[in-house]
Amino acid sequence: MEEEHRLVVLVVGEGQSEALSATESLAQADMEVIQANSAEAARQRIRQQPPDGVLIDAQLRGVDGFETCAAIRAMPAGGLLPIIMVTAADDLKSIERSYRAGATDFVTSPINVPLLPHRMRHILRASATKREAYSLRGLLKRILDSVPVRVFWKDLRLRYLGCNRAFAEDAGFASSRQVVGLTDAALPWAAQAELFEREQREVIRTSRPRLGYEHSRVCDNGEHIDAQTNTVPLRGEHGRVIGVLGTYEDITARKKAEAEIRFLAQRDTVTGLPNRALFEDRLSHAMDNADRNKRLLGLMFIDLDHFKRVNDSLGHHRGDELLIRAAERLKRCVRRNDTVARLGGDEFTVIVEMLERVEHCTAVAGKILQAFQKPFRLDGQAVSATASIGITVYPLSAESSHELLRCADTAMYRAKEAGRNRYRFYSADMDASTLLRIETERTLQRALELNQFELWYQPQYDMGTEELVGFEALLRWNHPDRGVLLPEQFLKLLEETDLIMPVGEWALRTACRQAAAWIDQGREPVRVAVNLSSRQVNDPDLVDTVTAALEDAHLEPSHLELEITENCLVQDIQGVGAILETLKGMGVKIALDDFGTGYHSLDFLKHFALDTLKIDRYFIDGLPDDADDIAITTAIIALGRNLGLRVVAEGVESGAQLAHLRAQGCDSVQGFLMSRPQPVQDIWPTGDFGRSG
């Protein structure tokens, strides 16, 4: 059983006062008695250690007992301290003064000493309960005032009985006491008072809470505050409803954040236009609207012409700026209720709603083409970018949103094939080759994502030693339905899209890693040749890309050879020359592929840092009988020898061709005679020199 607290009583009196005469009886009742003979001494004692109660003789000299009581009551520690005054038995005036001074109770003189401890204990315990109640009330108030949620409670007439600090501040008051007795009609949201009170009356009527109710509060200054309110019945004794208790939370910031998240989820991050998800939703609604109103709907698929050149030559920052400017022009060409969206890359769509005639689409398309005739200003530089537009009409061309988009996409490709910078309407007789091309391009993207590309390797042999000296890495597409495809079946599409860059970089990294893996397996180091596209060669970041591939594979630069063609060099001779010079300085070998098939071959030998000439198989096919092929191959081999370049003959398929090339002093050969291109798992051993592998 918990030990009872020993009560401490401060007795304030002097000389033979009645209060002091009672100390012995209090001590005998197991109370601790502390004495003070003046008001100042009493206050000092209380500051040091507050007692459980105070007994004061009213007849103190100097500062009398009443003033002493008032002074103690004014102390921070004396606010709820029980104070008992000793007054004359028939002195009603003194009793009245005691209460006015803040006394809790009084005892009359002469004191009934035997009963005093019992009465004192009762008064102190009652006061302790009161102090505890006040303390709990204060704690509850502090808790309510500390929470950010607004809390309020009302009576049955919906007048405020109280609120916490946050609620009062929202209402424009300095204290919650100022809200008591008011109704919502007197608060800043008076315009919505009827709405709020109707909800609260329903809670009172049904005795059921209303939780999670969201609404917008409109203040006197016109500011809108999004709020979430919870209202429950306020119950008194025996569970009777005596009003409502409610909370509301300002969720303006949260609602704004949610709106921003929804916006970002449905908007293109570059242009701010609707993205594919929002486009599909609006297209579905537009089709329903067309059905209800028996109108037509036009869908345009727009692709910027030669956008990739802007990205490659000016950088992605300028490319993004072009997309933004293009989006602005497109929006100016349509009505407010039409939708302009960006699906990705340089692809836009326009939904033209509520058409009465198909010809209206023609007018919009013409307006768009006209808008794109004027060059775009990108950081002060004029850049031309026209558009190709495919148009389809619902429900004439298709009955589903998916088919409608496919038809517009198909028509756009037909516009590009017709020369770009024009529009074409979809028609059912569009040939299968166009549809196959579209499907192939889409499948290429999936092929990269699903790792369907492979590198096959064809050996190169030294003509003098007949030893393996290198491999050419050749791209293959392991198509899930059509089998292994050669580059001529898909390379052109890769070059016309952004995919040539990631696929080219993948091939470079893969070849470097394979060359390093062969060395790690104990194979004799050989050179691996990788073909570069025109886009790659003219990429200002090519040196960084090659460096990263070599470092990633831990491969020496001398084990890598980059094969380029004349087409790669004609766009920017000076810029490409500087790039090749840097790569050659690193130790990377540079080969000019298909030598002799272009118009600038000899001129390129003068301007570019090369290591190898590769004779195109076109000049090998006629050997050793065709006089022209003999003359050309002999001249190329002699030219390479005089310039200190290694000469490699491609496409060697017969022993007679091999013998002729050896006689002319060709350095290396590759072709079906020695080995066909093989996947990496089949390349070792490569077969005997001079026999089909």
Where does a domain end: 225, 255, 285? 255
Q: What is the CATH number of the domain that holds 334?
A: 3.30.70.270
The tokens for 490 are 């898909």
* Residue pair 542/530 in contact by the 8 Å Cβ criterion: no
Indicate whether 446 belongs to any domain: no
The CATH number that applies at residue 96 is 3.40.50.2300
In contact, 467 and 519? CB cutoff 8 Å: no
Same domain, 288 and 421: yes
DSSP per residue, 664-686: HT--EE-STTT---EEGGG-SS-
Is the same domain home to 21 and 61? Answer: yes
Within 112-156, strands assigned E span: 150-155
415 and 402 in a common domain = yes
CA distance linking residue 619 with residue 617, whole number of Å: 5
**Token code pair at residue 499:** 């995919």
In a 3-state reduction of DSSP, which class is residue 11?
Answer: strand
Helix (H) or strand (E) holding 167: helix 165-170
Say which residue the tokens 């102090």 belong to: 131
| Cβ–Cβ under 8 Å, residues 394 and 294 | no
Backbone angles phi, psi at 530, to 5 degrees: -125, 130
How, if at all, do strands 339-344 and 296-304 pair?
A: unpaired
The token pair at 543 is 């040196």
Q: Which domain holds residue 654?
A: 454-682
Cα 189 from Cα 217, distance rounded (Å): 6
Mark whether 203 and 100 lie in a shared domain.
no
CA distances from 672 to 664, 669, 687 (A): 20, 10, 11
Pairing of strands 646-649, 612-615: parallel
Q: Are 46 and 10 in contact (CB under 8 A)?
A: yes
CB distance 31 to 75 below 8 Å? no
Specify whether the CB–CB gap between 218 and 195 falls below 8 A.
Answer: no
d(CA 523, CA 473): 17
Q: What string of H, E and C letters represents the secondary structure of 394-458?
A: ECCCCCCHHHHHHHHHHHHHHHHHCCCCCEEECCCCCCHHHHHHHHHHHHHHHHHHCCCEEEEEE
The residue out of 108, 123, 143 marking a domain boundary is 143
pLDDT digits (tens, 9 = 90+) for 348-397: 999 999 888 888 888 999 999 999 999 898 877 888 889 999 999 998 88
Do 423 and 475 lie in one domain? The reply is no
| CA-based radius of gyration for the chain | 47
The verdict on residue 264 lying in a domain is no
- 3 state SS for 74-96: CCHHHCCCCEEEEEECCCHHHHH
The pTM of this model reads: 0.44
Q: Where does a domain end: 143, 174, 196?
A: 143
What SS3 class is residue 100?
helix
CA neighbor of 222 nearest in space, from 184, 188, 185, 173 = 188
Give me the pLDDT at residue 2, please. 42
| Whole-angstrom distance, CA of residue 480 vs CA of residue 447 | 9
Q: Are residues 386 and 416 in the same domain?
A: yes
194 and 237 in one domain? yes
What is the C-alpha end-to-end distance of the chain, expressed in Å?
100
What's the total number of domains in the chain? 4
Q: Which stretch of DSSP H or E encloses residue 469?
A: strand 468-479
306 and 232: one domain?
no
Please answer whether residues 562 and 528 qualify as being in contact, where contact means their C-beta atoms are separated by less than 8 angstroms.
no
Beta bridge partners of 612: 591, 646
List the structure tokens of 87: 């007054």
DSSP H/E element including 494? helix 491-495
- Same domain membership, residue 337 and residue 205: no
Closest CA to 286 of 171, 186, 395: 395
Q: Comparing C-alpha atoms, which of 649, 648, 655 is closest to residue 688?
A: 655
Residues 244, 201 contacting (CB under 8 angstroms)? no
Contact 467, 461 (CB under 8 A): yes
Position 474 scores a pLDDT of 95
**Is 671 exposed, middle or buried (CB count within 10 Å of its CB: 0-12, 13-18, 19+)?**
buried
Q: How far, in Å, CA of 360 to CA of 68, rounded?
A: 97
Low-confidence ranges of the chain (pLDDT < 70): 1-5, 89-90, 127-139, 218-222, 428-441, 497-498, 567-573, 596-604, 606-607, 684-693
Place of tokens 């016109």: 222
Q: Which residues lie closer than 8 Å to 443 by C-beta, 6 or more apart?
A: 479
Q: Residue 658 carries which side chain, given as an amino acid letter?
A: L
Residue 172, in any domain of the structure? yes
Q: How many CB atoms lie within 10 A of CB 156?
A: 12
**Cβ-count burial 500-520 (b if 16+ within 10 Å, e if not):** bbebbbbbbbbbbbbbbebbe
- Contact assessment for residue 86 and residue 18, using Cβ atoms and an 8 Å cutoff: yes
The answer to whether position 263 is within a domain reads: no
435 within domain boundaries: no
Q: How far apart are CA 404 and CA 299, in angstroms?
A: 7
Both 302 and 243 in one domain: the answer is no
Note whether residue 667 is domain-resident: yes
CA 616, CA 589: separation in Å to the nearest integer? Answer: 19
Asked if residues 422 and 390 have their Cβ atoms less than 8 Å apart, the reply is no
Residue whose structure tokens are 């209402």: 171
Residues 334 and 373 in one domain: yes
Tell me if 1 is assigned to some domain: no
CATH number of the domain that 156 lies in? 3.30.450.20
Same structural domain, 618 and 488: yes
Residue 530: the pLDDT is: 96
503 within domain boundaries: yes
Alpha-carbon separation of residue 37 from 47, 103, 634 (angstroms): 16, 18, 132
What's the rounded Cα separation, in Å, for the pair 463 and 484?
A: 31
